[in-house]
Amino acid sequence: MRNVLRIAGKEFADLSGSGLVLVVLIIYVALILKVSYDTYNVVFIQLGATGQRLVNILLDGVWYILTYFGMFVGVVIGFASISSERHRNSLSLLLTKPLYRDSIINGKLLGATCFLACVSGLAIALFTALMLAIFGNSFFTMLPGYLENIPLLLALSLVYVLIFMLLSMLISVLIKDQAYALVLTFLAIFLIKMENTNNVAGDVSMVLTGDTNLGNTLANLSPFTLSEHVSVCLSPPAGMTIDPAVYSLPSAALNIAFYALLLLIANYIVFIRSDVS
Amino acid sequence: MTTASNPVLAIARNELLKLLTHPFTYLIFIILVCIVLLNSMDNSLRTSIDSVMTTDDLFLYDGVSNTTYIFTFLCSIMAVFIGAMSLSSERSKKSIGLLLTKPVYRRDVIAGKFFGLSAFMFLFIVAYVIVDTLLITWYFRPPLDINDYLLRSLSYILLHCCLCSILIALMFLVSIIFKDVLMVALISVVYLFLEWFSSLLVSFDELKYFSPLSLYDTASYHLLYTSTAFDSWLQIAMPYALLMVLETIVLLLVDSFIFIRTEDI
């Protein structure tokens, strides 16, 4: 256990000092500022929402920042975790130490997850501070209701972003050329992105069955679709009645956790069994 | 003028051959062929079921345009990757030092690599358009007006080549400025993310005339709609296409300028 914690601490420190991660965090802050500005436009100018409606929209904004943009941060953290060591040839050195391989992967995952949790927490803090500055008292009075949903949102978004971080780590371990691995990860994410899944799933459904039912089922398997379902549950569009058979927060959360678990197992298998050098 | 006597052609030929044997090329092409095949098969079924109220030729309006978004993205990812890795991988393998000991001007290295990569992208795009045309013709029907289709296809190919050329030149600049291959790969992926996943770049009105994707989108608007006459489309698209070419030339000049003056390669 002590070795796992040592490796986790080292991983956290490496990620904190990584130039790659720093570049992405700067971009992330810029994107948070943009989302804050867009939220102000939508809420204040267009919808004029107040009270619970305002809280729902802000929670949706938090979810969007943590998942849609956070997924990119997760990819880079996963990539930096493996590639920087591989690039410096220090991964081979680490593997020669009297450590079990599962201790190494446990430590790396723990360190990377803790770093991701810190980044997500800071992102929420930044967004909340900006919203307080913009909306003032109309948001301040609803702050308790907003804050009581934040822990669940943070935990769920962390599991969601873990999907992409684990995918990135998996591809980085499998592919020796690290630059190639990063581009392949990005390509994989693009191919499972919601619109593409819907298009391709629709085509597959029409070709195989002549209707779109299979396509809807396939499209619902995409993590992006699951994220969209969570977003609808958090902030249902005005006048829309949510069908619990389609939009279910527990169901979406379970599916997201299942994907993360699958990728975690895959990472263990590949890291422990492959000849990593 | 043989490749032996012209260093630009020799470097271009070398780049082209490297890419024609890279597995990434075949991976992207196979993905595209699968998507186009599914789309063609679905298109033939859907148009027999749906009554489509349009005067546009469905070959382009439905068949080709359904896969344009994915094709444009995959071309972009290809162009960004090959542009970024062309110089960076040579630097990380230390072969750039050997290349620069040869009697070759540094500007010729940039020009040769650019022409090689652009020639590869041209061949890639043409191969895709041919496969797309054949599959849609097989499963659906040929275009209604062959001459109009050829003009629009050629414009489609040239616009994609312009987009890819800008991206290649831009990635050359990134790989000249940043020495670390991982940082170059990261910046190329960050760029793709900002252009395709977030609307951060286009939210600034001034950047609309510099963003390669915005210029491409504006130039290609209504290209695949036969209800818009080709001449009308060309009149509107020409300034944007010329702007894309100008941007490529400026980027290449900047690349050459910085590369020539960089001491620590």
In sequence order, what DSSP letters do the residues of B121-134 get, joined into one string?
HHHHHHHHHHHHHH
What pLDDT is recorded for position A47? 66
- State how far residue B94 is from chain A, nearest Cα, in angstroms: 15
Which residues in B lie closer than 8 A to residue A203 (C-beta atoms)?
Answer: 38-39, 41-42
Question: How many Å from the N-terminal Cα to the C-terminal Cα in chain B?
Answer: 30
What pLDDT is recorded for position A215? 78
The answer to whether residues B99 and B109 touch, using CB atoms and an 8 Å cutoff, is yes
CA dist A77 and A116 (Å) reads 8
Work out whether the CA dihedral B71, B72, B75, B81 comes out positive or negative.
negative
What pLDDT is recorded for position A197? 67
> What's the complex ipTM?
0.85
CA dist B59 and B55 (Å) reads 12
B217 closest CA partner among B160, B265, B177:
B160
What pLDDT is recorded for position B53? 62
With a cut of 70, list the residues of chain B below it in pLDDT: 1-5, 45-54, 199-204, 264-265
- Contact flag A20-B186 (C-beta cutoff 8 Å): yes
Which residues in B lie closer than 8 A to residue A180 (C-beta atoms)?
Answer: 24, 81, 85
- What is the per-residue pLDDT across A49-60, written as a single tens digit (0 to 9) for each? 677 778 888 888
What pLDDT is recorded for position B90? 84
What pLDDT is recorded for position A238? 67
B116 closest CA partner among B5, B4, B26, B17:
B17
What pLDDT is recorded for position B49? 47
What pLDDT is recorded for position A276? 55
Which residues in A lie closer than 8 A to residue B185 (C-beta atoms)?
Answer: 178-179, 182-183
Nearest to A186 among B39, B89, B189 (CB): B189
Q: How many CA atoms lie within 13 A of A223 on its CB side?
A: 24
What pLDDT is recorded for position A117? 93
Chain A contact for B201 (CB, 8 A cutoff): no
Residue listed under structure tokens 């972009």: B76
With a cut of 70, list the residues of chain A below it in pLDDT: 44, 46-49, 87-89, 91-95, 194-198, 238-242, 245-246, 275-277
- Contact flag A23-B81 (C-beta cutoff 8 Å): no
| Long-range CB contact pairs, A199-205, < 8 A, 24+ | A199/B66, A199/B70, A200/B35, A200/B38, A202/B42, A203/B38, A203/B39, A203/B41, A203/B42, A204/B38
What pLDDT is recorded for position A205? 80
Question: How many Å from the N-terminal Cα to the C-terminal Cα in chain A?
Answer: 25
Which residues in A lie closer than 8 A to residue B196 (C-beta atoms)?
Answer: 190
Hey, of B50, B89, B186, which one would you mutate to test binding to chain A, going by the most A CBs within 10 A of its CB?
Answer: B186
- Contact flag B182-A69 (C-beta cutoff 8 Å): no
Chain B contact for A22 (CB, 8 A cutoff): no
The H or E element spanning position B153 is helix B146-177
- What is the per-residue pLDDT across B90-121, written as a single tens digit (0 to 9) for each? 888 888 888 878 888 888 899 999 999 999 99
Tally A–B CB contacts below 8 A.
86
Chain B contact for A39 (CB, 8 A cutoff): no
